[in-house]
Amino acid sequence: MKNITNSIFVLGLCFALVASIFAFNTPAPNYEHLTFTTIESIVPGGTGRSRLLIDGGNGNMDEQKIKNLYSIVGIKMENIFDNDQSVSEKLNDLSEEGWELSFVSTGVQSPSDNGGGIYCTRYILRREK
């Protein structure tokens, strides 16, 4: 009886060893990447240009207008909300196509001479090939 128990234990151990070898030797996934960028104008008076730019790969670029952060009377919260909605819709659309958000990078460029500038957010997405 002891030999049968030892044999079952050894077989179970061998099975676990073989299973772990195959589990840890799976190849890393291969991803393709897509970038989209929001450029929001920080120009007083609302005279700037704000855009959502999508690098669709293959040298294609999709450009969508979004609203400037400022109006003639100052910062406009409704425009910020509308831009957030546009970004959320774009992320949802891309998610439905199999893209997942991988990384986000932000930056501000504001020259000191006129008080204006841009607020830029870059979204990097990926999906398995």
Three-state SS sequence of 6-25: HHHHHHHHHHHHHHHHHHHC
17-36, pLDDT tens digit by residue? 666 666 666 677 899 999 99
Q: Does residue 97 register a pLDDT over 90? A: yes
d(Cα 77, Cα 29) in Å, to the nearest integer? 41
Question: Can you tell me the distance from the alpha carbon of 64 to that of 85, in angstroms, rounded to the nearest whole number?
Answer: 13
Full-prediction pTM beyond 0.85?
no
Domain definitions of the chain by residue range? 31-128
Do 126 and 99 contact (CB within 8 A), yes or no?
yes
Residue with tokens 């909605």: 85
